[in-house]
Structure 1
Amino acid sequence: MQRIVNFFREVGREMKKVSWPKRKELTKYTVTVLSVVVFFSVFFAVLDLGISELIRLILE
């Protein structure tokens, strides 16, 4: 039981050393990640549609 308590104390100490991003940085990073996700979602959707149409044309 003591090992578990020591583990969580160490985790607490290490978490205090972490350099957390400021609100402005966090907002910037979040917008960047969401933009990339939306871009690649649209890109792969268009790519999938194009490949599907190409296969339909070949098989007809």
Structure 2
Amino acid sequence: MAAKDSVKKAEDKKSISKYFRGVKSEFKKVVWPTKKQVLNYTLIVIVACILFALLLAVFDKIVMFALKLIYG
């Protein structure tokens, strides 16, 4: 019984190390963006968020105006 447990632990250690070796090899394949690309993408996201917030605020004002007309 103890022999089976030790074999299983050894297999677990091998599978864990195999997993991390696979992760390491996959990270080597990743093409990381340049600093300029990260800056550009960040600015695009910030501008898009601001525009969406403004659009939502305008829509909210229109709905509130319509509701005031309807309900007084």
**Structure 1 residue corresponding to 2:60, chosen from 13, 26, 48:** 48
- Partner residue in 1 for 2:7: none
Moved runs in structure 1, 4+ residues, more than 6 A?
none
**Structure 2 residue corresponding to 1:19, chosen from 23, 31, 34:** 31
RMSD over aligned Cα, in angstroms? 1.2
Q: What number of residue pairs does the alignment pair up?
A: 60
TM-score (norm 2): 0.73
Unaligned stretches of 5+ residues in structure 2: 1-11
TM-score (norm 1): 0.85
Name the larger-Rg structure: 2
1:54 deviates by 0.7
- 1:7 equivalent in alignment to 2:27: no
User: For each residue in 1:8-56, what CA deviation from the matched residue of structure 2 results, as whole angstroms up to 9, or x when unmatched?
Assistant: 2211211111001000111001101110011001111111111111111
User: Identity over aligned residues, as a percent?
Assistant: 33
